[in-house]
Amino acid sequence: MRAFICSRDDVVTRVDCDAASSEVQAVLEGVPVRCVAAEGDCVIVGTQGAGALISTDGGRRWDRVELPERDVFSVAIGPADGTLYAGTEPSRLFVLRDGAEWTELEALQDIPSRERWSFPPRPWTHHVRWIAPDPHRRERLLVGIELGGVMLSEDGGESFSDHRPGAKRDAHAITWHPVAEGRAYEAAGDGAAWSADGGRSWSSLDAGRELGYCWALAVDPDDPDSWYVSAASGPRAAHSAGRAHGRLYRWHEDAWRELPVPGESMPYALAALADDLVCGMADGRLLHSPDRGEGWQELAVTAPILAMALAAPSPLR
């Protein structure tokens, strides 16, 4: 397993591990990184104030991406075709296809509700918090606006529908199931939701979960009815760096169940691969569970974790 971790001390760390050993290496330092996506040797990170950076060799060398907006809150790599995405504050969406030039998907600006988008801590602005390209259909894309909702494109970003019925508006994380086509999942400040029809309509799944402010998200790749969210009592509890505290939940067999994560720190980043669940904690611990969250091993210690991506190749390419 290879993971790339963004931490609050402006470092990107690469973690390589197997059953016998693990290797931890800082691959980018002194850059205010905030988000990361990876597939194979391709890694893209977004920064606050310095645009985006791309590596095509697993983090050994980096090239800066010059975008019209300098604050990049979300990045993604399309698992179906390798397209690169970057979402910014204010809410704009940029794309790089087939090695051409970065261009803006301007249709995001035409969404009718855009005038009402607002980020509560700084209500004069808003941003693209998450970008989720569909692994099965290269032309389908979900975009989460904080705070504005979940937007859907079914034509590669040429057009976008407005906030989808039933989805949560305070979107934090969105993902697709890697095998079950059309299944999508959302973690948000106002709860959790899922879609069975390609993101067109959504259903809330909040019953039985004590904490309502959801942040990180992962889905069991072998079971589309099993997925994970981290949650806190509110934004202050979730985001106070090393003092942040929250819980981890698993949806399985029609109910949320709390998983026994060691300590009380906030599970700030999640990733799942087969039976393995990887959890990046706000206090800097990187935890690994080989049994879907029932037991945990500590892989490495870093600074407080902001974002994480597993560099697993897509099964569809």
Which residues form the domain of 140?
Answer: 2-310
Q: Is residue 183 part of a domain?
A: yes
Residues in the chain: 317
Q: Is residue 240 part of a domain?
A: yes
pLDDT at 19: 67
67 phi and psi, to 5 degrees? Answer: -115, 155
Q: For residues 215 and 231, is the Cβ–Cβ distance under 8 A?
A: yes
pLDDT tens track, the chain, 317 positions = 889 999 999 999 999 887 677 788 999 999 999 999 999 999 999 999 999 999 999 999 999 998 999 999 999 999 999 999 999 999 999 999 987 789 999 999 999 999 999 998 898 999 999 999 999 999 999 999 999 999 999 999 999 999 999 999 999 999 999 999 999 999 999 999 999 999 999 999 998 899 999 999 999 999 999 999 999 999 999 998 778 999 999 998 888 999 999 989 999 999 998 778 999 999 989 999 998 888 999 887 777 899 999 986 444 33
pLDDT at 260: 92
- Hey, what amino acid is at 41? D
In the chain, how many domains are there? 1
Q: Is residue 31 part of a domain?
A: yes
Q: Is residue 317 part of a domain?
A: no
pTM for this model (two decimals): 0.94
Q: Is residue 316 part of a domain?
A: no
Q: What CATH number is attached to the domain comprising 253?
A: 2.130.10.10
| Closest by CA position to 118, among listed 79, 90, 142, 76 | 90
Q: Is residue 33 part of a domain?
A: yes
**Strands of the sheet with 63-65, listed across from one edge:** 33-39, 42-47, 52-55, 63-65
Q: Is residue 269 part of a domain?
A: yes
pLDDT at 317: 38
